[in-house]
Structure 1
Amino acid sequence: MIFRKVEHLLPLAVLLHLSIIPTETKVVTSVEECNEFFLQQTPPRIPGILEGGDILDQNRYRMICQTFNDIRTFVTLYDTHNKIPVFSAAKISKIKTSIRVGVAKNITLKNQAGNDDYKNTQGFDRGHLFPSSYGSTESEQSSTFTLTNIVPQTDNFNQGSWNKMEICIKCVLNEYCINNNGNIEGFVVIGAKPSSRNILNKKINIPSVLWSAFCCYSHSKKKWLASAHWGKNTADGPKYLQTQNLKALQRTLGV
C-alpha cells in the first residue's frame, strides 16, 4: 500500500436480505480506466497480483468499475478463482447517515460468486468490503450491494469488531478529513486475504484476514492522516481492532 506523507492516527457491513437493487459491474482491462478512486490515481501494490498498476493475470483477476445508474461509485479488483474481491477502493466525499439495505442483482461477471453459493451458510454473513455506510449518496450506498463486493465473514466478526471499526473510521472521515476547500475528502481501500484451504460450500474462499486503510489530508491538522486496521476472520477474535499505521499493515500483508 503506498500513501505518501502520512501519519498514524489514533482513534456496516450489513446483512443482505431485502429488496433487489439493479447494480452493474463494468469490467475494464486497465487500472487507469478506474483510477480516480485511488490516492494520486495510484492503486495499491498486491505482490503477484497487482504491481506497478498492472494486473499480472487478467484471466483470473478482473478490475471492476462498480456502477449504479451509469455513475461510477467505487472500484473492485475481483479474484474469479477464489470468487471473492481482493480489495475495493473508493474516494470519500461526504457521508450520508441513512443506509439502504438490499441484495445486489449483479450476476454479470464470468466465474463470480452467485446467490446460490451463499445458501445454507450458518455462522457466516455476506460481508461488504466497501461498506454501504461510507457512501456519500443513495446511489453510492446502493452500489455496494453487489456480490463482487462481498466476502464470507463470520457473523461475530462482521457484526462485532469489524463493524465497530467501520463506525470509528466513518467518524474520523467526517471530523478530520476536511480538505482546504472545506469538503470531506479521503481515500479508503478495504481488502481480504484469502485462506489456504477454507472454502464455503466448496465454492467460495473464506478470507483468513480482512484489512482496511484510509488516508486523507486534514486542513485543520495541516498534515496527512492515515490508519489501518485488520483482523482474523474468526468467531472468537478481539472485541476491538487495534488501530495501526500503514507500515504495520504492509508488513502484515507482505507488501
Structure 2
Amino acid sequence: MLLLLLLQVLASCLWLGHGEVVTSLISTCPQFFFQKTPPNAALTPQNPAWICQRYGNKYYFATLYDKSRRIPVYSAYLYQPGHGKRCQRWMVEPQLVGPQYPKTMETESYVLHELKVSKQELQSSQAVLRDYEHLEGFHRGHLNPCSHNYDSSSCNSTFTLTNIVPQNAKLNQGAWKRYEMTIMKSKTQGCAETYVVVGSVPGSNFFGNRVNNPSHIWSGACCKTTSNTIRAWGVIAENTKNAVQELSLGELEDKLTDHYGRGNVYLFHSSCPRQ
C-alpha cells in the first residue's frame, strides 16, 4: 500500500492529468450538469464507466464511457471558450484497467512501462492510440472540444481518448467545426452559464473489431441567461455527411430516444425548455 501511495504522489507531480473513475457523476462532479441533473439512464450502455475528468487537481468535465464499444457515450461541460494552447499529449485511463491503479490519466508509455500494465490489459479496457492510426476518412473527434475551454489547462484536459470518437473527417473540419466555433457562439449570446452535453450514437460497424464507428454525433445545450431566463437547443449530425441539423432540445431528445432504443432520453433538468 505504501508503494502504491508513493506511486500516486509521484504520478501527480510528474503528470498534470487526472481522470477519476467514479460510481456516480452526480456525487463527485455535479457542477457540469444544469441543476446538477445528468442525462437519464436511457443513455447508459451495458458496460459503463463514469469518469470525472480532472487535470491539475481540478475537475474540468464529466464523461460516460462505453467500455465495450470503447467510445464515450457523452461528455458534459460548461461552455467557456478561450485561447488556451494545446499540448496534444494524448492520455489513456489506467483505472479502466482496474481500480488498483492510480486515479490519473497517463500516456500509454507510462501505463505500460511504469505501471507494468500489459498491452493486452490496456487494449482490452479501452481505446488506445493505435486504434486511431490509419483510419482513412476519419479523425479523432473531441466530444468536449478544446475550443470550448478557457485556458491551456482546461484545453489540455480534453486530450484523453475517453473523450474521443472516430468522426468523419469532412464533418469534423466542416459543418461540425462551424457549429462549435460560430453557431455555438451566436446561440450563447446573452447566456450567463451554458451547460453542454455532447455525445455519440453507437453504429453497427467497428474499426479493427475494437472501436465503434458512431452513426451520429450530437450536442445539447441549456443556458441560464443574464436576464434570468432559460433557453436550450440541440444539434445532430450523421457521421457520414458534412451537415449539422439544428433542433430544439425536445426534438433532439426525441431523435435520441429513437436511436438508442432504451426509453425516453432526457439530457437536462426539466426546467430546460424542450420547444
The residue number in structure 2 matching 1:189 is 197
**Does the 8 A contact of 1:190 with 1:213 survive in 2?**
yes
| Structure 1, unpaired ranges of 5+ | 1-20, 51-56, 179-184
- What is the alpha-carbon distance in structure 1 between the residues aligned to residue 43 and residue 88 of structure 2? 34
| 1:110-162 C-alpha deviation (Å, 9 max, x unpaired) | 21101111122121100000000011222111100000000001101111111
The residue number in structure 1 matching 2:113 is none
Distance 1:214 1:99, change over 3 A: farther
The residue number in structure 2 matching 1:7 is none
Deviating more after overlay: 101-110 vs 136-145: 101-110
Q: Which residue of 13, 18, 23 maps to 1:24?
A: 18
Distance 1:232 1:46, change over 3 A: farther
| Structure 2, unpaired ranges of 5+ | 1-14, 98-124, 258-264, 266-275
Give percent identity, aligned residues only.
37
- Matched letter for residue 30 of structure 1: S
The residue number in structure 2 matching 1:131 is 145
| 1:46-92 C-alpha deviation (Å, 9 max, x unpaired) | 41628xxxxxx5xx101001111111000000000000000000123
- The structure that is helix-richer by fraction is 2
- Matched letter for residue 246 of structure 1: L
Structure with larger Rg: 2
SS of 1:103's equivalent in the other structure is coil
RMSD: 1.9
- Matched letter for residue 21 of structure 2: V
Give aligned pairs, total. Answer: 215
Paired residues for 1:192-231 under 5 Å: 192-196=200-204, 198-220=205-227, 222-231=228-237
| 1:195-238 C-alpha deviation (Å, 9 max, x unpaired) | 12x11122100100010011111124x4212110001001x343
Q: Shift in Å at residue 107 of structure 1?
A: 4.0
The residue number in structure 2 matching 1:117 is 131
- Matched letter for residue 245 of structure 1: S
- 4+ aligned runs moved over 3 Å, structure 1: none
Paired residues for 1:159-198 under 5 Å: 159-172=173-186, 175-178=189-192, 185-196=193-204, 198=205
More contact order relative to length (CA 8 Å, sep ≥ 6): 1
- TM-score, scaled relative to structure 2: 0.73
The residue number in structure 1 matching 2:100 is none
SS of 1:104's equivalent in the other structure is coil
The residue number in structure 1 matching 2:89 is 103
